[in-house]
Amino acid sequence: MSFPSLKKREVSFNIDKDSHGWIQWKGTDVCMDVHCKVCNHMTHIDDDFTYYIQCPYCKTVFECNGFIELIPIEEIKDFKIAEKDVMGEEFDKE
């Protein structure tokens, strides 16, 4: 499977205007590559309850933001269908 968004070099979106998701961290495990812009080192973490991470080089602590960019894509066959949310539909009517 190809993930063209992984080649995207800039992640910049406006949560009031652009499609986005919110990861509700529930203590599940994460496998994450980490690039610290403070000291410019790359590292990796595989762990549970990863709400905050510390760069092992410069010791800066970061919060793991729950917002993620949703990028429209075509020509993919393996995807998940989001559930309809009655509360969300009521919100849309306002």
Give the model confidence (pLDDT) of 51-73 as tens digits.
899 999 999 999 988 888 887 87
Contact, 60 vs 39, CB < 8 A? yes
Tell me if 51 sits within 8 A of 40, measured CB to CB. no
In whole angstroms, give the CA distance from residue 44 to residue 41.
Answer: 10
Whole-angstrom distance, CA of residue 21 vs CA of residue 15: 9
Question: Average pLDDT of 25-35?
Answer: 85
Distance CA 37, CA 55 (A): 10
Note the pTM of the prediction, 2 decimals: 0.64
Q: Check residue 62 and give its pLDDT.
A: 93
